[in-house]
């Protein structure tokens, strides 16, 4: 009977550890509108998509956040975003050119606009 009790205790501890680990992994993965309210504004939203206006001024940073699959449309030629991944590595984005399209899978990152202002429309595709 004691052995059964230990197994149950171990199972509860394992489930708790996995749950807390998953929660900790998502702590920095906020919604972009919440993480960067000065940069992202919701233009429209329904059950399948959310349309955001994104703008970031030269030198400005945006904290860690997550996107599902997105399509971005650059409104005006501008700078290049520098992305910081959750593990601290940096990735340089492509130079923003008016009319260019970006399609990208789910990602968690923060970013800064080191050289010029950036402005785009971002469509997030919600998972069903």
Choice between 42 and 9, residue whose per-residue pLDDT is larger = 42
pLDDT, one tens digit per residue, over 59-94 is 899 999 999 999 999 998 777 889 999 999 999 988
| pLDDT of residue 1 exceeding 90 | no
Q: What is the pTM of this model?
A: 0.74
| pLDDT of residue 25 exceeding 50 | no
pLDDT, one tens digit per residue, over 26-47 is 444 699 999 999 999 999 999 9
Q: Where are the beta strands (DSSP E) in the chain?
A: 40-45, 49-56, 61-67, 69-74, 82-84, 90-92, 101-104, 107-112, 118-125
User: Judging by beta carbons within 10 Å of its beta carbon (0-12, 13-18, 19+), is residue 93 exposed, middle or buried?
Assistant: middle
């Amino acid at each position: 009977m004691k052995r059964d009790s230990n197994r149950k205790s171990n199972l509860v501890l394992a489930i708790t550890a996995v749950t807390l680990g998953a929660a900790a992994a998502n702590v920095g993965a906020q919604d972009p509108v919440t993480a960067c309210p000065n940069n992202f504004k919701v233009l429209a939203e329904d059950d399948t998509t959310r349309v955001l206006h994104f703008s970031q001024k030269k030198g400005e940073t945006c904290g860690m956040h997550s996107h599902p699959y997105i399509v971005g449309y650059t409104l005006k030629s501008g700078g290049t975003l520098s992305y910081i991944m959750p593990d601290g590595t940096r990735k340089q984005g492509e130079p923003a050119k008016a009319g260019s399209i970006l399609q990208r899978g789910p990602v968690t990152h923060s970013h800064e606009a080191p050289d010029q202002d950036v402005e785009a429309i971002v469509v997030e595709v919600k998972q069903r």
